Amino acid sequence: MSAPRVLVCLAVLAASALATNVQQCPGLEIENLSENVQLSPCKKPPCKLKKGTSQAISITFTVPEGKDMPAVTNHVTAEVFGAPLPFVGVDGNSICEKVYSEDGEKAACPLKAGTKYTYKDSFPILSFYPSIAVKVHWALQDANSKDLLCFEVPARIV
């Protein structure tokens, strides 16, 4: 195998190793969703969310054509015993200060239509969270609370 092919194969393997296997939200079909979401540390679901630590997240997404987005917020819940509860410390937060362009430069809202961005953040796993299995529902929403991107991942708070 030639050197360029080896490098391409290694790059693909590295990218897939960083991706997190997440599930589509009901009613949405987002192309390459799992390749665009990275939760760290989380090698495979269920993700172990250790109390007293922080969970890093990186989401790559493209703003739909047609309209710039003046604001984008997180809508994050943890399904506990069938009931969605807001993920304290994350739900409702703006992502505008934590967005980067394709070339890694800091970006800001309004996000431009048709442009690819990466949202990078970390959030605390608070010590008062109960030690239970949950399904995390994570959406990036526009100013009208419409999902721009959405995924779900099983997790266990430990």
Residues 116-143, mean pLDDT to the nearest whole number: 92
Bridge partners of 140, per DSSP, are: 74, 149
pLDDT band at residue 91 using 50, 70 and 90 as cut-offs: very high
User: Domain range spanning residue 71?
Assistant: 3-157
Q: CA–CA separation, 94 vs 72, rounded Å? A: 6
pTM, two decimals, is 0.82
* Average pLDDT, rounded, for the chain: 85
CATH number of the structural domain spanning residue 103: 2.60.40.770
Domain count, the chain: 1
Asked which of 15-24, 39-48, 73-82, 141-150 is least confident by mean pLDDT, the reply is: 15-24
Q: Give CA angle at 91 (139, 122), nearest 5°.
A: 85
Alpha-carbon span 22 to 51, nearest angstrom: 21
Above pLDDT 70, what percent of the chain?
88
> What would the mean pLDDT of 121-127 be, rounded to a whole number?
90
